[in-house]
Amino acid sequence: MADPVHWARYHWQRLISTENRAGSSSSNSSNKCYQSSKAIVKHRIVIPCLGHFKEEYEKVSKLYMNNRIRTTKYTWLNFLPRNLFEQFHRVANLYFLFLVVLNWVPLVEAFQKEITMLPLVGVLTIIAVKDGLEDYSKYKMDKQINNLLTKVYSRKEKKYVDECWKNVNVGDFIRLSRNEIIPADMVLLYSSDLDGICYIETAGLDGETNLKQRQVVRGYSEQVSEIDPEKFSSRIECESPNNDLSCFRGFVEHSNKDRVGLSKDNLLLRGCTVRNTEAVVGIVVYAGHETKAMLNNSGPHYKRSKLERKVNTDILWCVLLLILMCLTGAIGHGIWLSRYAEIPFFNIPEPDGKSIPPTLAGFNMFWTMIILLQVLIPISLYVSIEIVKLGQIYLIQNDIDFYHEKTDSTIQCRALNIAEDLGQIQYIFSDKTGTLTENKMVFRRCSIAGQEYCHEENAKRLESYQEMDSEDEDSADHQCDSSTPMSKWQGDNCRAVNEPLNRKSLNQLSGSYPALGGQGEPGEVPHSGHVAFSSPIETDVSPDTQLLGKFSQISSHFYQQSEEASSKVSLETMYITDFFLALAICNTVVVSVPNQPRQKMRHTSLGRMPIKSLEEIRQMFQRLSIRRLSSSPLPSVKESSSESPNSFVSKLSIFRMRLASPALDGAAQRAAEPHNTDSPENSQVPQEIDMTNVAAGCEHNSAASSVESSPLPKLCYEAESPDEAALVHAAKAYKCILRSRTPDQVTLDFAGLGSLTFQLLHILPFDSVRKRMSVVVRHPVSNRVVVYTKGADSVMMDLLRTASEVDTNNSEMEQKKIKERTQKHLDDYARRGLRTLCIAKKVMSDEEYAEWLNHHFLAETSIDNREELLLESAIRLETNLTLLGATGIEDRLQEGVPDTIQALRKAGIKIWMLTGDKRETAVNIAYACKLLEPDDRIFILESQSRDACAMVMSKILEGIQKNTSDKKSPSQNPEDVSAGLSAQAPGFSAGLVIDGRTLEHVLHDSLQNIFLELTEKCRAVVCCRATPLQKSVLVRLVRNKLQAMTLAVGDGANDVSMIQVADAGVGISGQEGMQAVMASDFAVSQFRHLRKLLLVHGHWCYTRLNNMVLYYFYKNVAYVNLLFWYQFFCGFSGTSMTDYWILILFNLLFTSVPPIIYGVLDKDVSAEILMQLPQLYTLSQKSVAYLPSAFWITLLDAFYQSLICFFVPYFTYYGSDIDVFSFGNPINTAALFIMLFHLLIESKSVTWIHTAVTVGSILLYFIFTLAFGATCKTHNPPSNPYWIMEKHMADPVFYLVCLLTTCVALLPRYVLRVLQGSLFPPAVLRARHLDRLSPEARREAVKRWKDGSAVNCRVEFQATSGSSSSATGAVSQEESTARVSPTSKTPFQACPRDGLVAGTCSSPDIQEYRWLEL
């Protein structure tokens, strides 16, 4: 064993030295770029506080934060001043503070100083207590997190000791065990995993439960023992702290000035959990609030609701009204004094004997009147709105209809201040995958070498598969995929439950903090829920009989011959083999076993020989394996020039093959050296390993049963996307089983080829620019470098080999036929609504690979512009590909999506689908979910230039406008309210489909207006191939240009930008993590929940809050006017006919609770009727309840009621000798009755709570006034409220005055409501009447309502669609092509739960506008 060890060490040192020379030569050029950027962006230097770094560490460490976090806003010392400072940012609070200060001026004093302070102090105290309690809960959570323990290397004790998270600093070495949470961002320097890999779970950051791989820094991974911090002599230089979770740039500089590049694969982020790794060691680079997780925790986002902006505008009107009333009082006071200037009683001189001039007295009275009439500005309205919104959110979150049993989740209201905006939505922008669909990818069809395999058996299984109705599905959904036929519904849990802390603490640990779970015991099973994308419907695939039969021809010897042969059978066999190899290899799926949850799948040791030395040697070989991508040893430029690329790649290949893990079983060992062609026995496994048919309930196929089966371990596949999982499970169904994955190699079992171990050279991950993913491997059979690529057909077809690059004519024709047939299959898959992917490969010579490798190494080692250089390198590799085939994957619609979209459209909401899928898939999903109707005229807009795009849109608009002008809609019956409300975008019934390339032209400033004009004429818009940035730009464009209320809904990270831009953002807590949820204002588990959220709760919240705001304006204006009318009889002296305490408490206490209850509980229409009649939503959508006219009518009614309330008692007691307070008491009491009964008239539903609160307010008023008048003789000298209420309670005239005043004041409003309900009832009143009917009568009435709406829509459509074909004549035949299938009324028969039925998709009335060149 000594010789292989010495050989491995020698070649390892040789390669490392080669790499260092290349790194030093390339670093010189990169240093120049770095130095130039260093002046702009300061980089961070990280060194440990050990050895010779100690002095430098003391200087550098002062610049960095420690790991203590504080998410609280306040401290014990700054709470009071800071909270007051923030509260006085509100204009209303500043206004009342100004009044308090003004009341301290003796010349303009109106009240006692304490009384004026009471409203302001009360409001400030309530809000301060609320803010303090919220902040205290954060403080307790911060304290809990900061005191968590972790292992930190101690310089004094020379070992790892337990230390609190808050004491961790940049430069500390941290040692973590399995299931522990990472306390700070640190660079990975050691992993106990044999491959130098650490597996982490990022559920705390993005909600994704699948495992992610992180690698030890190159140069440290070959260590056999754990890294010794005392011997660490390198320094780390990296970028400054930022919030980019997907990027990390830096390098490690050793003592010999050699540098090793760092990437995100070397960084462990705070809040993630270590999985599948016994121990890891890292050095902290970012701590505390400088970690990426904390930088992404921007806290709760604030959006101002439309109603709030409207209220602020109306308050300005109230301010103008107040100024007008105060000016009237000031002018009146000056006139009064000038008229009675000679009477000293009205003009009391100053102590110096001089009298104040009437003009100056009028000026002073202006400020006195400001203090007296301050109630006109409703300070309590702001507090009441906050309370009402909290109550509304509480009712929404406790609605049982939002509970989703399968995911055990309900709605989350993350924004507390925009609930009423849900009732005004005009546009909905929706993602497709995971939002409208389940994001459960089911393998349906494939095309290999131009031959389609329909998988009819799999289609039949899916048709009979009722996942939602199956009780077994719930348990199976939490179980792993099984390889045995009897274990389809059985299997051990991949992840068990271990959740020490609640979800709130779990979300707070890392920005939205991750799970707190303490240090897991060695035998403890981590919590992760169930494996994502592993439900039986996704994992169980029934193979196609024809395709499965062809696998019997595959063998190692036959595969080698097929690469050189040109026969059709040989080429087809090679294509089939490479196709399924690409499905199994071209991914980042992590393989684990269920009996040891979340443990990586590895092969057993060779022969299980109990020799310790051999085990150590095996571990050394594993550590000496060369890393893929960032760790691939590369030749320097000088050495490459002196040594041929072929020799270098050969050495690299031999080195990899010699160091490949020998830990294989007998059959695998015989297949581990297929490159030795001298012995054909070694290239083929003598005894084939049978793969179990994993079809649901299916028996073994004849081809499969011909091979003896052997028991295989169960596997769990943890994928980052459902597409990857579906393809891996499809390959597994065809006996191409992914067994294990390490950074260096991928092992799989292939029927006929045995166990194959591919050397994994590079992974080029998927990105939104390339729209594809590639892996570079060395094939174990052919020993050649092969690139497997999968991606969207829109980009893959352009990367295929051209005819000039093909050698023979036969091969040229064959390749051309394969491409044409595959394209037809792709189009057919898209018409069926399937997601399509193209699979291709490229075989490279050693010289080509070595040349590309040199360029790629320069890109990897660059710190600045690394992403751009890596992109260029990937594009350089992915050319001249050979097309292998294509796949069609079905993503089924969620339950209730068609009904939800239909209801939302009836509610007057326009829905846009924004998706990255290809056009045919998006259009067919739009038909399936009823976003597009069979009778709609569909315009497909594609353009290659901006001018062409503008011309096409203008011609389409001309055609549409011509139709709307030629055929007018018949006049509607004004009394048919239901029909009027149901009218959907009168005019042309059209839909617009536009792709991402055309969107680039459309979003230009010069075309935005015409584009929006066109979309307003369309019922629905489908944007396909749209990027995340285009999604957000579209939402912002509609929101700003059209001044429309927008809602964006999505489930993935690519939807975050549009969710944040929209007025209301809704996140779907699906299978793509929690990024969308964390960025949203509301989070639901299913798209169908939008129906009730908008149509019911949105309508209720908006209507309730509108009515409550209007009532507050009415109440304050009416009560202030009582004081204003009194000024005409007291010389505008600024006095009051009511005691100041009762005056202040009237609005603050006696009449404050009933409108709050009204705002929380009032229901104009029941939830059942609102769900059945979506047309009612247009009332709140059009702000019918809060139009400007409604505001001014409310103020006029308040003026009228105040006149009645004041002058009825005035004329009653006219000529009597009652005092001022005796005159004001019946006015005050009558005002209380008027306002409370006014609220009851406006209430749509009166419950026992309304009654109790109303009666309670009246009792509280009488109890307080009786006690107030009986206990204190003088409160505000010289006034005397003593025994006032007691005397009136014994006077019958008092009761008569209160009764008469209340009736006369409320009579007009009451009569108006009665006439309105009897003669011309609004739609809401008619709908409310349906609740009083019996169930049978109600169903009939709702049916008649809907029938009337449908007839109206049909009449409107017939009036506009008769000449719709003229729109197509607006564009010449050379510029457009029309596809019309008049015989087909539906594009396909579709069942939302069973997927799209196979068949031809011929969409009627689809007009396609393509302008290719101008």
State the catalytic residues: 431
b/e per residue, 1376-1398, with b = 16+ CB within 10 A? beeeeeeeeeebbebebbebbeb
Output the six-digit token pair for 278: 């016994």
Q: Single out the residue of 668, 653, 665 nearest to residue 744, CA to CA.
A: 653
Beta pairing class for 1046-1050 and 1064-1068: parallel
Tell me which amino acid residue 184 is.
Answer: A
> ∠ at Cα 366 (360, 370), nearest 5°?
155
Q: What is the DSSP string of 379-421?
A: HHHHHHHHHHHHHHHHHHHT-GGG-BTTTTB--EE--SS-GGG
Q: What letter would DSSP give residue 332? A: H
The tokens for 637 are 């430029």
Residue in 925, 933, 927, 938 with CA at minimum distance from that of residue 906: 933
As a whole number of angstroms, the distance between CA 1176 and CA 1102 comes to 13
Tell me phi and psi for residue 836, to 5 degrees: -115, 145
Residue 126 — left, alpha, or beta (φ > 0 → left; ψ -120 to 50 → alpha)? alpha
DSSP, residue by residue, 920-986: HHHHHHHHHTTSS-TTSEEEEEEESSHHHHHHHHHHHHHHHHHHHHHSPPPPPPTT-HHHHHH--SS
The partner residues of 198 in beta bridges, in order of sequence, read 214
Pair 174, 249: CB distance under 8 Å: no
Question: CA-CA distance, 664 to 603, in Å (whole number)?
Answer: 6
> Residue 894 gets which letter from DSSP?
P
For 258-341, strand residue ranges (E) read 259-262, 267-268, 273-275, 279-286
The token pair that represents 590 in the structure block: 């992590």
Q: Which two structure tokens, joined as six digits, stand for 160?
A: 């790892």
Tokens of 635: 């030749």
- Phi (first) and psi of residue 1244, to 5 degrees: -85, -25
> Is 467 in a helix, a strand, or coil?
coil
Exposed e or buried b per residue across 647-669, where buried means at least 16 C-beta atoms within 10 angstroms of its C-beta? ebbebbbebbbebbbbbbeebbb
CA distance 928 to 1388: 8
Question: Which tokens go with 562?
Answer: 């097929």
What is the C-alpha separation between 64 and 62, in angstroms, rounded?
6
Cα–Cα distance for residue pair 488/541, rounded to 1 Å:
11
Phi, psi of 904 (to 5 degrees): -65, -35
- Sequence-distant (6+) residues with CB within 8 A of 1164 are 1100, 1103, 1244, 1245, 1324, 1328
Q: Quote the strand ranges of 1135-1187, DSSP E.
A: none
3-state SS, residue 288:
helix
**Distance in angstroms (rounded) separating the CA atoms of residues 1018 and 1016:** 5
- Unique residue bearing structure tokens 């609640």: 502
1173: CB partners within 8 A, 6+ apart: 978, 1327, 1342, 1345, 1346
Amino acid identity, position 1183: S
